[in-house]
Amino acid sequence: MASRQGSKSKNLGSVTTKVAKSPSSSTTSSSKQYLETSIDGQSSPASSSARSKPQYFYSDNLHIDVERSKENVTVTVRFRPLSPREIRQGEDIAWYADGETIVRNEHNPTTAYAYDRVFGPTTTTRHVYDIAAQHIVSGAMEGVNGTIFAYGVTSSGKTHTMHGDQRSPGIIPLAVKDAFSIIQETPNREFLLRVSYLEIYNEVVNDLLNPAGQNLRIREDDQGTFVEGIKEEVVLSPAHALSLIAAGEEHRHVGSTNFNLLSSRSHTIFTLTIESSAFGESSEGEAVNLSQLNLIDLAGSESSKAETTGIRRKEGSYINKSLLTLGTVISKLTDGRTNHIPYRDSKLTRLLQSSLSGHGRVSLICTVTPASSSLEETHNTLKFAHRAKHVEIQAAQNKIIDEKSLIKKYQNEIRCLKEELDRLKTGIMTVPQLRDSEDNLVLLKQKLEDGQFKLQSRLEQEEEAKAALLGRIQRLTKLILVSTKASQSSRFPHRPGLRRRHSFGEEELAYLPYKRRDLILDDENIDLYASVESNSEANDDTVKGKKTRKHGLLNWLKLRKRDSGLGTSTNTSDKSRGMKSTSIPSTPQADQNNVPSESRLSLSLQTESSPSADLLSDAKEEKETREENIFDPETPLTSIKSSDQIDLLREQQKILSGEVALHSSALKRLSDEAARSPQEDQIHFDMKRLKDDINAKNQQIAYLEKKITEASSNNMTDLEIMQEIDELTAQLNEKSFELEVKAADNRIIQEQLDQRISECEDLQETVAALKQQLADTLELRNVPKDVRLAQATEVDDLKHKLAELTESKEQLELRNQKLAEESTYAKGLASAAAVELKALSEEVAKLMNENERLVSELAASKSSPSQRKSTVGVRNGRRDVVSKRTDIGPSAAELKRELAISKERELSYEAALLEKEHREAELQRKVEESRQRDAYLENELANMWVLVAKLKKSHGNDSDEYSTRDTQPFDDERLI
């Protein structure tokens, strides 16, 4: 035990910030309320007095704080290995455990964070438990409240850490097992353990132990918050507690997401309430230790990468919102300046208010993946963890000196009952003394006979009462757990001092109906199982019973589900304030029809007769007693006020309703089974019994309703009415607040809705456009064959035309070329003619000059004789000249003729030149025309190509068959 007490959290955080704390908020959600419970649904004198006034475990007048020591939240980080998906995607490592306390960024090694402990991917959950949880559990067993929760993004390993599986049990089963081991190791104290299990799904609190407990209210008063109407079950063994978790898990919301096939869609809080007091007769008046251990599996935050829709998206937004609030609360707690901490912004923080505000030890296990794709998310988790490290707590042991703790109440009740039993025994022994009288012998005889008769009937009544008391004492005693190492002194000296042992082994665990993770079995369990085996040897019958029973407990659980209405689970409760219900455990022993004689392996019970016989009779008695009491609450053992009576009746009514609900679900399961195996008579028999039981319970409910109405109309005093009004006002306020919260939620949802609507409209437009495109395509596809043939013919024509045009273009080009050649030739001719013409012109000019000279000489010779002589001479001379000339060249006539010829030639040349120029111009015009035509044809050709390409494209979208068969005309090569 001493070894379990160590390990206080170290303060690694460099900043220590004072936690804003209100003195009034010192209670945990459900522990603060005193639970008025009697195991058979009937109140006792001890409990009735307590019922009128709510009790708070942590109010100043009720507890003594034994040394408050400042601590910080224990913060650890657990890496999970890369998942197969991450490995497939070739993810890198982005964060890693650098030693035992540091997390470092792979890419940027200067980014690193320190925590109390960092666990690498290969660390076992058992090791995590030892470091991060064990001290919280042992503290809780000593009266210090404790909270352990796993935080991290989706699929980072929270549920693996908190629940685990058969190969690697999680913190919750390990803690439960440890709690019972601690009881075993603490012989000087006796314990009473009870559990509750709830989930927060979409900001609605549901009771996982009671299917009827949906949408429970969180109430708050000066002392803190609590869940109204949550069911608590007293637990007797680890297997019993785990079976309740397993049953609760059946109701938890789990769904598949992109990142996790079995993603938790709700936050769950499993609460173990522990009461302990010194063991033995001398414990009277001593303080009781009371504490709560909250084991929380949060739903994972989801990044925007999660492509969720519909219900998953809604769940995700609720999860993210509540985790965001948790982050804000932690920030504000560590900021030190803020007075207002927004606990009320989410149900999660409201329920965790007490833990977070420093009234108990807290261990935060942050789960992370090393994968690079989650680099940012992991960084956020690490930052959250770093902030949380600075939250300061002041853990203290809660000691209750009030006599009204549940364990004290049971102890007192046992004592009172024992006294009453003694009185009864004495009464039975004392036979009335009748004095002999001679005077009135007849009368005396008559009196004697009457007396004998009365005595007889009184004896019978008292025997019955005694039996009932014994049964009650036994049942109460069974709820209080002590170590087998405790002294063997019994509460009943005449009985062998059998005590209960608490451990769980393979057989107890193998059966656990756990939809997604089989709970618990590790090496230690096997050890424990071995120890159970060895202990059991003391009792041959037990051993035989266990060995011959192949799946005894499995059968029990299955049958318990079936026959849940027939078990001993008797819910009784207190309605002092919050109507929280507590039931005694539905133990295997209770089922007399289906259970082997010793169904709890590890428990040896503090009973007189054999455990099985006791339990069987208990079951019977309890049922009978309860039924009696329901119809006659005013038993000799009760004396309660009218309001208490109404409360009691209401509670009984509630319990009955819960049982009816349970029976109905069991009946449904049986119907399913019956449908599968109709020949099973046992199932039909069980179904019939369940139906009868449901009917009987419904009648009882109706009867209770009547009684409540009568009682309320008859007995309500003004004070009670005022109290009722106060209560209703408080409820009204609560409802108003919830309404406000809902209204705020609605506003957010409305905004989201508006956004969705606009997104939807955009999508609709896109869809319309796509539809149009589709229709166009379909239209093309749906073109009838004749139209397609017509199109093909048209294309053929076009192709033909194109060929013609191409041909005529070629001809024109040829002609054009010829004309160009001709034009070049003509130009050559023209230039040659021009040269010749120029040469001729020069000759003509020369000849004309000569002619003029000759004419002037002729005229001069005609004018004088001398001159004549001379002229003759001249003439002679001339004749000489002429003769000379004749000798040297043609005569004038010849020259004239030559001149005329050259003129003619000149003229013909000019005419030829003109004609050539004319022809040239003509050719130029033709060239121009042919060029234009050419351009026109080219243009036409381009248009044709465009047309062909268009046709080809539209036909190209059709099926391959169509394109090969029907689009042949568009084949490029063929076209070209």
Binding-site ranges for ligand ATP (CB under 6 A): 80-81, 83, 152, 154-160, 260, 262-264, 299-300, 367
| Residue number with CB closer to ligand ATP (172 or 393) | 172
| Residue number with CB closer to ligand ATP (126 or 878) | 126
Compute the C-alpha angle 248/250/255, nearest 5°. 120
| Residue of 295, 351, 307, 358 whose CA lies nearest to 325 | 351
User: Was 158 annotated as part of a binding site?
Assistant: yes
User: Was 157 annotated as part of a binding site?
Assistant: yes
| Residue number with CB closer to ligand ATP (296 or 662) | 296
In the complex, the smallest distance separating the C-beta of residue 558 from ligand ATP, rounded to whole angstroms, is 27
In the complex, the smallest distance separating the C-beta of residue 151 from ligand ATP, rounded to whole angstroms, is 9
For residues 314-348, one letter each, b for 16 or more C-beta atoms within 10 angstroms of the residue's C-beta and e for the rest, the string is ebbbbbbbbbebbbbbbbbbbeeeeeebebbbbbb
In the complex, the smallest distance separating the C-beta of residue 292 from ligand ATP, rounded to whole angstroms, is 23
d(CA 825, CA 378): 92
Contacts (Cβ under 8 Å, ≥6 apart) of 5: 135, 138, 139, 142
Number of residues written out for the chain:
976
User: Was 153 annotated as part of a binding site?
Assistant: yes
d(CA 341, CA 32): 21
In the complex, the smallest distance separating the C-beta of residue 614 from ligand ATP, rounded to whole angstroms, is 42
| Residue number with CB closer to ligand ATP (155 or 629) | 155
| Residue number with CB closer to ligand ATP (100 or 710) | 100
In the complex, the smallest distance separating the C-beta of residue 245 from ligand ATP, rounded to whole angstroms, is 15
Contact at 8 Å (CB) between 550 and 527?
no
Q: How many CB atoms lie within 10 A of CB 351?
A: 26
For residues 667-676, one letter each, b for 16 or more C-beta atoms within 10 angstroms of the residue's C-beta and e for the rest, the string is beebeebbee
CB burial class (10 A; 0-12, 13-18, 19+) of residue 168?
Answer: middle
Looking at residue 390, the DSSP 8-state letter turns out to be T
CB burial class (10 A; 0-12, 13-18, 19+) of residue 400?
Answer: buried
| Residue number with CB closer to ligand ATP (290 or 385) | 385
Compute the C-alpha angle 289/290/294, nearest 5°. 140
| Residue number with CB closer to ligand ATP (81 or 497) | 81
In the complex, the smallest distance separating the C-beta of residue 557 from ligand ATP, rounded to whole angstroms, is 24
d(CA 95, CA 368): 9
| Residue number with CB closer to ligand ATP (74 or 263) | 263
| Residue number with CB closer to ligand ATP (300 or 360) | 300
In the complex, the smallest distance separating the C-beta of residue 377 from ligand ATP, rounded to whole angstroms, is 11
d(CA 70, CA 67): 10
User: Was 152 annotated as part of a binding site?
Assistant: yes
| Residue of 578, 481, 482, 416 whose CA lies nearest to 35 | 578
Write the single-letter amino acid at 585: P
Structure tokens at 240: 């019993």
Contact at 8 Å (CB) between 372 and 94?
yes
Contact at 8 Å (CB) between 116 and 165?
no
| Residue number with CB closer to ligand ATP (169 or 565) | 169
Write the single-letter amino acid at 564: S
In the complex, the smallest distance separating the C-beta of residue 116 from ligand ATP, rounded to whole angstroms, is 18
In the complex, the smallest distance separating the C-beta of residue 156 from ligand ATP, rounded to whole angstroms, is 4
User: Was 883 annotated as part of a binding site?
Assistant: no
In the complex, the smallest distance separating the C-beta of residue 330 from ligand ATP, rounded to whole angstroms, is 19
Structure tokens at 289: 């230790």
Residue 268: which H helix or E strand, with range? strand 267-278
Q: How many CB atoms lie within 10 A of CB 486?
A: 19
In the complex, the smallest distance separating the C-beta of residue 80 from ligand ATP, rounded to whole angstroms, is 3
In the complex, the smallest distance separating the C-beta of residue 260 from ligand ATP, rounded to whole angstroms, is 4
| Residue of 583, 619, 582, 570 whose CA lies nearest to 599 | 619
Distance of CA 433 to the CA centre of its chain: 79
In the complex, the smallest distance separating the C-beta of residue 343 from ligand ATP, rounded to whole angstroms, is 23
| Residue number with CB closer to ligand ATP (263 or 571) | 263
User: What is the per-residue DSSP string for 470-517?
Assistant: HHHHHHHHHHSEE-TTS----SSTTS----------HHHHHT---SS-
Contact at 8 Å (CB) between 660 and 698?
yes
In the complex, the smallest distance separating the C-beta of residue 604 from ligand ATP, rounded to whole angstroms, is 37
User: Was 154 annotated as part of a binding site?
Assistant: yes
| Residue number with CB closer to ligand ATP (155 or 586) | 155
| Residue number with CB closer to ligand ATP (366 or 630) | 366
From residue 780, alpha-carbon distances to 773, 788, 947, 958, 971 in Å are 11, 10, 17, 8, 19
From residue 99, alpha-carbon distances to 103, 104, 112, 386, 703 in Å are 8, 10, 12, 17, 67
| Residue number with CB closer to ligand ATP (235 or 512) | 512
Compute the C-alpha angle 397/401/406, nearest 5°. 90
In the complex, the smallest distance separating the C-beta of residue 320 from ligand ATP, rounded to whole angstroms, is 12
* Alpha-helix residue ranges (DSSP H) falling in 197-276: 238-251
Contact at 8 Å (CB) between 265 and 299?
yes
| Residue number with CB closer to ligand ATP (163 or 219) | 163
User: Was 427 annotated as part of a binding site?
Assistant: no
* Alpha-helix residue ranges (DSSP H) falling in 157-237: 158-162, 171-184
Binding residues for ATP are 152-159
**Binding residue positions:** 152-159
